[in-house]
Amino acid sequence: EAEVAQSPRYKITEKSQAVAFWCDPISGHATLYWYRQILGQGPELLVQFQDESVVDDSQLPKDRFSAERLKGVDSTLKIQPAELGDSAMYLCASSSPPTSGPYEQYFGPGTRLTVT
Amino acid sequence: LAKTTQPISMDSYEGQEVNITCSHNNIATNDYITWYQQFPSQGPRFIIQGYKTKVTNEVASLFIPADRKSSTLSLPRVSLSDTAVYYCLVAGNNRKLIWGLGTSLAVNP
């Protein structure tokens, strides 16, 4: 079964440093999502791509976060500089158009970020 | 955006049927109801989705009354491996999913 790949699985960084996460969606999935999930809470959408275009980045802290999906396939999420409050699980998901209803999203294993 | 309300936590025992109810009073005409399951340190996994009445698949059933203001996820004969957080989401086509706190289900031996 095809899966969403993410790396690294775990990342520890010091505050003010830069950090980057990578995601490779399921082949053929045009829509890619980056979520942030704080322990004990549900995922929060940071950015959504349709192919290489951003369709929703309303919750992305643009002063320090950036995301790109240059060729409409894999994607990178960057934080610079990292802050203590950025410690969370960063999840990537992808989807393809369903026959009806909202897109079923397939999630990767996530990257656990700890900022010290 | 439709807001959902579901219990924060539930306890059950192996072999029992578990029903998790979600309230969504302001659901829109074109909204679907979707449930995801999440294990610790993993991404959420799609369980089931429905628009009205009853939907059943190999792992769960989803019951939606005629007014669609609530829905119930039914897990038959749960096992220890069903211990997870279950999220109820309401959204229409191309609308983003708004995730709440979910229901933390603990299945005891």
Q: Dump pLDDT digits (tens) for A38-76.
A: 999 999 999 999 999 999 999 999 999 999 998 889 999
Which residue among B41, B43, B95 places its CB closest to the CB of A102?
A: B95
pLDDT of the residue at B69: 95
A112 at the B interface (CB within 8 A)? yes
Across the interface, which of A102, A103, A107 has its CB nearest the CB of B43? A107
Distance between CA atoms of residues A61 and A36, nearest Å:
11
What are the structure tokens assigned to B52, written together?
A: 């009205």
| Contact of A4 with A75, CB cutoff 8 Å | no
Contact B93 A43 (CB under 8 A): no
Q: For the purposes of burial, counting CB atoms within 10 Å of the CB of B109, is it exposed (0-12), middle (13-18) or buried (19 or more)?
A: exposed
Minimum CA–CA partner of B47 in chain A = A104
pLDDT tens-digit map of A72-108 = 899 999 999 999 999 999 999 998 876 566 778 999 9
Report residue A12's pLDDT band, with 50, 70 and 90 as the boundaries.
very high
**Chain A CA closest to residue B42:** A109
Please tell me the distance in Å from B92's CA to the nearest CA on chain A: 5
- Tell me whether residues A43 and B34 touch, CB distance under 8 A: no
Alpha carbon separation from A23 to A108, A113, B67, B97, B101 (Å, rounded): 8, 15, 40, 20, 25
Which of A37, A50, A107 should one mutate to test binding to chain B, selecting the residue with the greatest count of B CBs within 10 A?
A107
Residues of chain A found within 8 Å of residue B51, distances taken between Cβ atoms: 100-101
Which of residues B3 and A11 earns the better pLDDT score?
A11
Q: Which residues of B30-58 are buried (b: 16+ CB within 10 A; e: fewer)?
A: ebbbbbbbbeeeebbeebbbbeeeebeee
Partner-chain residue, chosen from A42, A89, A104, that has the shortest CB–CB distance to B99:
A42
Distance CA A49, CA A35 (A): 12
Nearest CA in chain B to A90: B43
Mean of pLDDT over chain B: 92
What is the total residue count of chain A?
116
Q: How many CB atoms lie within 10 A of CB A18?
A: 11
Strands B103-108 and A88-95: unpaired
